[in-house]
Structure 1
Amino acid sequence: MYLPWLRGKQNELLALQELLKEGNLSKNILPIIEPLKTSTTFKRTLSMFNENEREIAVIQNTSLVDYPGFRTDDVDQLKAADSFVWAYQLTAEARQVYLQQDHKKMGILAANSDLDDASELDRSGDFLVLDRNDRHVMRKAHELNKISKVELNDEFHKRSRNVDYIEVPDELFSEEHLYYQDDGFKGFSDYSIIGGEYNESGFAPRAVAIHLVYFDSNERLRVHHFVSDTNDDIHDPGNKFSEALHKMMSWVDSKNFDSKKNKSSALDDFRKINLAGRYPGLGVVKKLTLKHHLEIMGRYLDGVL
């Protein structure tokens, strides 16, 4: 099972909505949302998962923004649905609140977590997300055998500037889908091509980069970076996007890319945008690259690559 950790920004939520609508979101994918605000898009996403009888986990105590748990009547109703998984980052303050919950829940032991006695967390039907880089957490959780353990890794090597991806155009993204079960995990989690570092607001980039995750011949996930050429200033982002997109479509059509193994509705949309010569905005680019990643990962987990 794959549990992508998303930050609840509009285009991330729209990616999930479109995958559900298209029937391209595998039942072996359970998204984790760390929400930022009670937006219409957020509430519609919860509604769609409920309508489709699909589970979605929502973190109740995010440290990214100051929010009151989204206590509005319509959200409270959605949180009572069977599809809603209550997720808590298990800080010392949140631990008792988490343990008192009767419904299906998810504990997250990552940054700022506090774990001395893990035995009280060991309950069948729940999930426990563990930061693989935290040796203390991993040692304490090793003894648990009832709860469904999920490993969390930050797989995307994020550079400070888009132009820096020119130096490393292609690199390994992840192999966890190949080995997580051998390591004793029920599932694996990462931040997709967004990365674990949270940035509240964007800025006009000098270079546009498109990050395309794909399966290689050994079924490892790699990521190829396509970067614009005219990177001296922030002007004309549409042209920068066109330069990066032309590079991506040429590579996708080459022998270096397994089009059968890595096909997706998002790639079809990129092809239409390229043929039309239009600029959809960088938010849409992120939405489509995320959709592509989740769709090909879902087909791998479903055994239909």
Structure 2
Amino acid sequence: MYFPYLRGRQFELIAIRDLASEDALGKIIPIIEPVKESFNSLNLANKILFETGVKPFLIMNPQVGESCGDIEHYLKYIEDLENSMYRHAFIYSDNASYILDCLNNYSLNNCMVVGLDSFTNEDEFSLLCEDGRINHIVLLEPHRYRTLDRHIKKLDKNYIRLDDLFEKQQRNSDFLSIPEHKFSEEHLYYEEDNYQGFGDFTVLPREYVEGGSTPRAVVINITYINVEAENQIWIRHFTSDTNDSISNVQGKFAEATRKAISFCNELPLSNSGIDELSGYLRDTKYPGLGTVKKITIKNHLLVIKSYLDRQL
């Protein structure tokens, strides 16, 4: 099973909605860290999720965004949401008392606990993971916690390794000099390493940045299965060439898209994300950088889905 870690920004939620509508999530279970105080985008997503039967995890105590910390904002939201498809997840940050209070006060079961890099008390985390109301455990880069990792593997629960894989550059134009390279191979080995699932932050940096300025360069990050490298997931960055100013973003998008579509046609790589990107190039339209990121997320999830489907 694949557990992509997404933020609740509009374009990320639209990616989930699109794939749910296409019945294309399959063995993909999103983990969503909400970043907006408003529930509008979550409500729109939940409607599609309910219609398609998809049940992602929603972080109750996000670490970033407009309503973050050990709060009850999203707990009350799910409690009041009609036909909620969201399952409860909590980020552990030496806050077991908060999580246990939530489990008790809201009578929760079948929850997820997520260990990022914001905790120091491994013993407390171990005890929390043993709680019968926790059935999914996510740990970022578990090789850094050998004792904890070994303990969780003995609990007979759904244990997911999470990896931070995208190598962010200081400037988008820096991607011009970076050749295609290995992105991940966890899909090949997670079961062998006694994990029930694997996850990443898709083709986005783990670091959360709200908004952003007009870029000098447009980059389209495309992942694919490299059959010549034993089915590892590789990534290639397709970058615009005229990057001396912030003008003509539409032209920069066209430059990067031509490169990406040419590569995908040659590989070949085809899915609804790539088809959407190709349509914008054909119609000479610029959809905005949010939509570009949505397309690359869709492609990444569909690439992993296609591999997992072949393993049946």
Structure-1-length-normalised TM-score: 0.90
Change (3 A) 1:87 1:245: same
Pick the aligned partner of 2:258 from 236, 246, 249: 246
Give distance in 1, aligned partners of 2:144 and 2:54. 33
Change (3 A) 1:76 1:58: same
Contact persistence 1:180–1:187 (CA under 8 A): yes
Q: How many residues align?
A: 297
Q: Which amino acid aligns with 1:41?
A: S
Identity of aligned residues (%): 31
Q: Equivalent residue for 2:288?
A: 281
Q: Equivalent residue for 1:230?
A: 242
Give distance in 2, aligned partners of 1:78 and 1:185. 32
Structure-2-length-normalised TM-score: 0.88
Give distance in 2, aligned partners of 1:112 and 1:292. 30
> Structure 1: which 5+ residue stretches go unaligned?
none
**Secondary structure of the structure 1 residue equivalent to 2:287:** coil
Alignment of structure 1 residues 49-198 onto 2, 5 Å = 49-67=49-67, 68-70=71-73, 75-78=78-81, 81=84, 83-93=85-95, 94-97=98-101, 100=104, 102-113=108-119, 114-117=121-124, 118-122=126-130, 123=132, 126-132=135-141, 135-136=144-145, 138-144=146-152, 145-198=155-208
Q: How far has the Cα of 1:198 moved from its partner?
A: 0.9
Contact persistence 2:50–2:83 (CA under 8 A): no
CA deviation vs aligned residue, 1:218-276 (integer Å, no higher than 9, x gap): 2110111001010001011000001111111122222xx1x2xx321111111111111
Runs of 4+ in 1 over 4 A off after TM superposition: 71-75
CA deviation vs aligned residue, 1:144-166 (integer Å, no higher than 9, x gap): 32221100100111111111111
**Secondary structure of the structure 2 residue equivalent to 1:143:** helix
Give distance in 1, aligned partners of 2:114 and 2:144. 15
Of 165-174 and 121-130, more deviation after overlay is shown by: 121-130
Give distance in 2, aligned partners of 1:69 and 1:242. 44
Q: How far has the Cα of 1:53 moved from its partner?
A: 2.0
**Secondary structure of the structure 2 residue equivalent to 1:302:** helix
Q: Which amino acid aligns with 1:40?
A: N
Q: How far has the Cα of 1:79 moved from its partner?
A: 8.0
Q: How far has the Cα of 1:70 moved from its partner?
A: 3.4
Q: How far has the Cα of 1:104 moved from its partner?
A: 1.5
Give distance in 1, aligned partners of 2:74 and 2:12. 22
Give distance in 1, aligned partners of 2:14 and 2:271. 16
Q: How far has the Cα of 1:304 moved from its partner?
A: 7.0
Q: How far has the Cα of 1:125 moved from its partner?
A: 6.7
Q: How far has the Cα of 1:48 moved from its partner?
A: 2.1
Give distance in 2, aligned partners of 1:71 and 1:264. 34
Q: Which amino acid aligns with 2:232?
A: R
CA deviation vs aligned residue, 1:14-58 (integer Å, no higher than 9, x gap): 0110111122222x1110000011242221112322332221101
Q: Which amino acid aligns with 2:89?
A: A
**Secondary structure of the structure 1 residue equivalent to 2:224:** strand
Q: Equivalent residue for 2:304?
A: 297
Say if 2:200 is the partner of 1:200.
no
Which of the pair is proportionally richer in helix?
A: 2
Change (3 A) 1:71 1:98: closer
